[in-house]
Structure 1
């Protein structure tokens, strides 16, 4: 018999906490905080135990206290300190096979709860389709996804919705992902066990040969996580929030 116990540290609650642990640079932290406040849809990717849930929680703690957030999880893991958070959790079926509440159902229900932001703890299967539909309705959101890189995360998010049924095809999914996802933050755990952000990319909204085009905004090297000098091609949300994106990225690349 095996017992699985998942514990998350309560010492890491904010992006500043991640900066102090060298998991994130101060410039990247400022960029992500501004992205969250601007209402960008953020995908956090990485392997198992790479720190995805911890990073997602830190991002959400940058949200304005006036926002109403709805979280949807298989089991409660996110630690969010915002004033108005409604957490919903899946329920397994009974021994008779009744009473199951799935992620797909919860995501649909969340849209009826006047959300300012929808968060899905992790997408693995067909619930990714419901999340994309929710994000495409104009409600900002975020989620985590297992992947080996930011590019793989976007590719996987274009594939998972196909599990929803044979009537769903790439002609609908790929453009939807391209238009919905604004930022992808990829996390890694290195050989020493340290969890760090390795890259931050921004999809351009375009695709070629079935793959989404994306601009790398921050990249980790031997000198740490630093700005590449490029800016997201889609900046309408930043403009609406009064964020001078060019100045923010330029300052981080110096």
Structure 2
């Protein structure tokens, strides 16, 4: 069994042997560093130092590992170089473009997510010290430090991946590393249709709604594809419009010619210099945006986002963590109420109804499949409550797994009038329920 990089994963059935390999590698690495008077060649940028190290690796292996099979020697050489210039045991995972998450629980447990499914890998570290060194190397790459005085780091790597490192005393069983990776080329709506996330009819409706400047809220749990869908929808925004994105950790990669990206900032070691999402949203509104995209709304910035949607920035999007459309609206109400705004609940609800037109709910099924399970229209207020009607709905298979079908509900969206005003032809019959 191999991973997508062609590297062997059969060692998962022999964890003790794999750990012994890593211990042996670390001893050889220490000998190389001492012999070459280098301190962890990861920081060396000069080509000469790297060539010297690689030559020394080949020489040391030939001298100290007689009798080992060629496959063992080749792997040892490759991993020694990775230890010096890369991320040690994690390097083979980082090279694998099919992996979306790398999750290190402790020196002996490393998991990945591939195509929506978590799986344990044979990758192990020599010991807790080895894992800590790799964690420190990762944080150093982004100009951050992780130690006992600063035991938790959340940052963005150079390739856009999201990094979280936690070490003792916060991490009880030793250092942990979580790397969330994103595709180099974001999916389009057409590609999401090909993957079964929605139908061509649903994609056409969402594309028309985007061009018609309807504001969306994309809702779902962790790993359901909210950011992926937001990227795809933004691709339908006309190219003569200016988009400003605001995120806690920059994940959006829009295929659009006029985008300004902004990212919040954590406080420094003295607790100063933080810039939150709310400040960024308010600043973005001074930058002449046609549309505002908030990567994820989670606090007081909700009121500023709604103000943008209600004051000439229609067609703005955001994501929210929630299990259904009703819960997403309740969470929005709570964010505004807990943000210190002395607004009566009826006013908050009226503000939400005026700003948000569609809610798209996503879910992930057993086996890793991601689906849009509902596209709902915010119809208005009814007896003081926000009234929502489903336009499209996903009916799962009887087993509860992905494999069911999408269907219209019979609700004729009130927003069709606006969509038709932008030149799109959607007959009422398109939304009739199946016979």
Bigger shift: residues 80-89 or 11-20: 11-20
Normalised TM-score (structure 2): 0.55
Where 2:259 maps in the other structure, the secondary structure is strand
Deviations 1:108-138 (A, max 9, x none): 1111111110000001111111111111112
> Is 1:224 the equivalent of 2:405?
yes
Give the structure with the larger helix fraction.
2
Report how far residue 78 of structure 1 moved.
Answer: 0.6
Report how far residue 233 of structure 1 moved.
Answer: 2.1
> Is 1:36 the equivalent of 2:217?
no
Separation in structure 2 between the aligned mates of residue 227 and residue 125 of structure 1, nearest angstrom: 33
Question: CA 1:161/1:207 → structure 2, altered by over 3 Å: closer, same or farther?
Answer: farther
Separation in structure 2 between the aligned mates of residue 55 and residue 62 of structure 1, nearest angstrom: 11
Match of 1:199 among 358, 374, 377: 374
Report how far residue 166 of structure 1 moved.
Answer: 5.0
Q: How does 1:80-91 map to 2 (within 5 A)?
A: 80-91=254-265
Separation in structure 1 between the aligned mates of residue 312 and residue 417 of structure 2, nearest angstrom: 13
Determine the structure 1 residue equivalent to 2:423.
242
* Matched-pair contact (CA < 8 Å) for 1:182–1:202: yes
Separation in structure 2 between the aligned mates of residue 14 and residue 208 of structure 1, nearest angstrom: 40
Separation in structure 2 between the aligned mates of residue 199 and residue 28 of structure 1, nearest angstrom: 10
Match of 2:348 among 161, 170, 173: 173
> Is 1:135 the equivalent of 2:316?
no
Where does structure 1 lack aligned partners over 5 or more consecutive residues? none
Determine the structure 2 residue equivalent to 1:45.
219
Where 1:192 maps in the other structure, the secondary structure is coil
Separation in structure 2 between the aligned mates of residue 169 and residue 4 of structure 1, nearest angstrom: 41
* Matched-pair contact (CA < 8 Å) for 1:230–1:249: no
Separation in structure 1 between the aligned mates of residue 257 and residue 270 of structure 2, nearest angstrom: 38
Where does structure 2 lack aligned partners over 5 or more consecutive residues? 1-174, 398-403
Determine the structure 1 residue equivalent to 2:324.
149
Q: Which has the larger radius of gyration?
A: 2
Give the number of equivalent residue pairs: 253
* Matched-pair contact (CA < 8 Å) for 2:412–2:428: no
Match of 1:26 among 197, 200, 211: 200
What root-mean-square deviation, in Å, do the aligned CA atoms of Structure 1 and Structure 2 show?
1.9
Where 1:30 maps in the other structure, the secondary structure is helix
Q: How does 1:86-101 map to 2 (within 5 A)?
A: 86-101=260-275
Separation in structure 2 between the aligned mates of residue 77 and residue 248 of structure 1, nearest angstrom: 38
Where 2:176 maps in the other structure, the secondary structure is coil
Bigger shift: residues 76-85 or 129-138: 129-138
Match of 1:212 among 381, 386, 393: 386
Separation in structure 2 between the aligned mates of residue 87 and residue 41 of structure 1, nearest angstrom: 19
Higher relative contact order (CA 8 A, sep 6+): 1
Determine the structure 2 residue equivalent to 1:122.
296
